[in-house]
């Protein structure tokens, strides 16, 4: 059992957010500094004193590289580049959060265009520990009616590095790499290009750029 008293908890959360750009979330690997306590009635426990944000960032980097290496070893890393966009690419399956500003920007760009695009939204959670599974579910729905679309667009606005780790998920990247339709990404990942963007048919920096 580990205890982090409220005053220290608030301080550590603020420090972690300052150093990583994101709040502590379920599923993160963390390295804590603790003191060991023993009580004759309650037994052994840990008293949380500190946290090392660099450990969490390093763990995410290791998982990211492992996903890249596995995709390359399986021979699927470059499969999207073997596809081609139709000369007239207008029927778009869009994976995004419905309320996201990036999605609104994307739709606005299409409406301002002189071309007649048809964009169908497949809403998904785009952040947090449920995001990768949610995006995969949307892609499965698109795949069931793939003949209705020319391309897939996956978009999300900017965010902290730790907010965007879902796009480094191996299972999601593997699904995208082998997807039968070309996938265009516009993920606001300012530091590193996500694994999903690496395997996509084409990666652009923002939803507006897509």
Provide the token pair at 194.
Answer: 């996500």
Q: Which residue has the tokens 């695009």?
A: 117
Q: Which two tokens stand for residue 142?
A: 């698109």
Four-residue CA torsion sign, 130, 134, 136, 140: positive
Name the 3-class secondary structure at 151: strand
* Nearest-angstrom CA–CA distance, 130 and 150: 27
H/E/C letters for each residue in 59-107? HHHHHHHHHHHHHHHCCCCCHHHHCCCCCCCCEEEEEECCCCHHHHHHH
Q: What is the pTM of this model?
A: 0.76
Chain centroid to CA 15: how far?
A: 23
Each residue's pLDDT tens digit, 81-133: 999 999 999 999 999 999 998 899 999 999 999 999 999 999 999 988 889 99
The model's confidence at residue 188, banded by pLDDT at 50, 70 and 90, is confident
If you average pLDDT over residues 51-57, what whole number do you get? 89
Residue closest to 152 by CA, chosen among 86, 108, 105: 86
């Amino acid at each position: 059992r580990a205890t982090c008293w409220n005053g220290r908890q608030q301080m550590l959360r603020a420090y972690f957010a300052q150093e990583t750009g994101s709040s502590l979330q379920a599923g993160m690997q963390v390295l804590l500094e603790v003191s060991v306590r023993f009580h004759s009635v309650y037994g052994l426990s840990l008293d949380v004193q500190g946290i090392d944000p660099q450990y969490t960032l390093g763990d995410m980097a290791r998982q990211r590289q492992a996903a890249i290496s596995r995709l390359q070893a399986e021979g699927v890393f470059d499969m999207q580049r073997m596809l081609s966009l139709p000369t007239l690419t207008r029927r778009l399956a869009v994976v995004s959060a419905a309320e996201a500003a990036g999605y609104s920007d994307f739709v606005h760009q299409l409406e301002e265009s002189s071309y007649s695009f048809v964009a169908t939204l497949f809403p998904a959670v785009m952040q947090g520990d449920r995001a990768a599974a949610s995006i995969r579910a949307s892609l499965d729905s698109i795949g069931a009616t793939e003949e209705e679309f020319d391309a897939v667009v996956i978009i999300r606005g900017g965010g902290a590095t730790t907010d965007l780790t879902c796009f480094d998920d191996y299972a999601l990247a593997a699904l995208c790499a082998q997807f039968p339709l070309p996938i265009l990404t516009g993920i606001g990942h300012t530091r590193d290009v996500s694994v999903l963007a690496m395997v996509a048919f084409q990666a652009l920096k923002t939803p507006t750029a897509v």
